[in-house]
Structure 1
Amino acid sequence: MPRYFFNVHIGEDVLGDPEGQDLRDADQAWEVARAMAQNLLGTEFAQPINWAACHIEVTDDLDEIVLEFPILEAIDLSGQPH
């Protein structure tokens, strides 16, 4: 299984993921990134966060960028419960 790393970019700050996760493919990595973004959106921070300037960069074990997931993409606009 490939290993994926989820590096959270909040403005100019980067929260690196040194361990990563073994996942079956990039589609599953996208799902994990979406869940992470939803958790971040539900977290209270000491300072306001400009979520439009934030994303999760997913890299593989060769340090190649697999995808970039904008945090705001995790907002459910359908009105349906998760």
Structure 2
Amino acid sequence: MPRYFFNTRIGDEVIADPEGEELRNPDRAWEVARAMIHELLRIEGVENLMRAVLEVTDDEGEIVLEFPFAEAVLDDEIDADDGEIPVTRH
């Protein structure tokens, strides 16, 4: 099973995920990234992290997806408006 690393980028600073997580595919990595962003926003607050991006990389360091924290907030607003589950955007 592939291993994905969830690194947080805020401007030029990167907070690396040294262990990663084994997940079945990039779609599952997207789901985990979204959940992680929601949790970080809940703990740290929206103001500090709206410019942050969660960069998900594979075992070889290639970026599989980039998930801006602001996009996760927009997804929440869409979910609240129509009750729909957002479509994967990677």
Q: State the distance in 2 between where 1:4 and 1:28 align.
A: 10
Deviations 1:13-32 (A, max 9, x none): 21100000000000000001
What residue in structure 2 maps to residue 49 of structure 1? 48
The alpha carbon displacement at 1:50 in A equals 4.8
The alpha carbon displacement at 1:43 in A equals 1.2
Extract unaligned runs of 5+ from structure 2: 84-90
Q: State the distance in 1 between where 2:64 and 2:42 align.
A: 25
Q: 1:50 to 1:34 in 2, by over 3 A?
A: closer
The structure in which a higher percent of residues are helix is: 2
What residue in structure 1 maps to residue 20 of structure 2? 20
1:55 maps to a residue whose letter is V
TM-score scaled by structure 1?
Answer: 0.84
Extract unaligned runs of 5+ from structure 1: none
Identity %: 56
Which of 67, 70, 74 is equivalent to 2:68?
Answer: 70
The structure in which a higher percent of residues are strand is: 1
SS at match of 2:61: coil
1:43 maps to a residue whose letter is I
Which of 39, 50, 57 is equivalent to 1:59?
Answer: 57
Q: 1:54 to 1:24 in 2, by over 3 A?
A: same
Q: CA RMSD in A?
A: 1.8
Q: State the distance in 2 between where 1:50 and 1:59 align.
A: 20
